[in-house]
Amino acid sequence: MKKNILVSTLFALISVSAFAENPSFDYIDAGYSNWDPDGSISKIDGFELKFSKSVNDNYYIAGDFNRVTQYGNALNFSTLGFGYMNAFSEKSTFFAELDYAYSDASPGTSENGFEFTTGVRSMVTEQFELKGAIEHLNFDGSDRTSVVLGGVYSFNENFAIYLDYKFESDLNRMAAGLRYNF
């Protein structure tokens, strides 16, 4: 139900002005995060913070922090890395990102590894961006691959809302929130 409301809200917003032709890699995201493990009787909720900053026309740095809780137990998941971006049309950009990933859960379990993401971000209209990506995460020899679909609706050059959905074999993750482009 929450997902339907967020998607409906995203598409119902009215545009207010024109923006950049290619997606921006200079932003900060803050939002709600919901993890839905297969076979679980309840979902895991929390928040996420993300950032991305262009270093030049083709490279950027990025990171994120997720904190979700269930029954008083917390899981923190964070990444920090760098990426390559290449605009292959006036409105679309290919990207590839390599991150160091770290996870810790209460009580006292932690893992680290690497995450590789590759995908395309495209401006469908002057205010609406779509993203499609594949993420591969390796934690201490355990591999997980996700398909990521997302959208960003920009109110103006600086403020937007975003919605991301990640599909994995045993875990689906949804995130929605506010974006500040700088």
Please give the structure tokens belonging to residue 73.
Answer: 């137990």
Q: Exposure pattern of 147-164 as b/e (b: 16+ CB <10 Å)?
A: ebebbbbbbeeeebbbbb
| Distance separating alpha carbons of residues 136 and 141, to the nearest angstrom | 12
Q: Which SS3 state, helix, strand or coil, does residue 5 take?
A: helix
15: which DSSP letter? Answer: P
Peptide bond into 23 cis (omega under 30): no
Q: Give the tens place of pLDDT for each residue, 143-181.
A: 999 999 999 999 999 999 999 999 998 889 999 999 999
Cα 100 versus chain centre, distance: 16
Sign of CA dihedral 173, 177, 181, 182: negative
Assign residue 165 the CATH number of its domain: 2.40.128.90
| Distance separating alpha carbons of residues 11 and 91, to the nearest angstrom | 19
pLDDT-based confidence at 16, cuts 50/70/90?
very low
Range(s) of the domain holding residue 152: 2-181
The pTM score is 0.85
Beta bridge partner(s), residue 154: 160
Q: How many domains does the chain have?
A: 1
Mean pLDDT value across residues 78-89: 98
Regarding predicted confidence, which is higher, 5 or 107? 107
Angle, vertex CA 147, rays to CA 142 and CA 121, nearest 5: 130
72: which DSSP letter? Answer: T
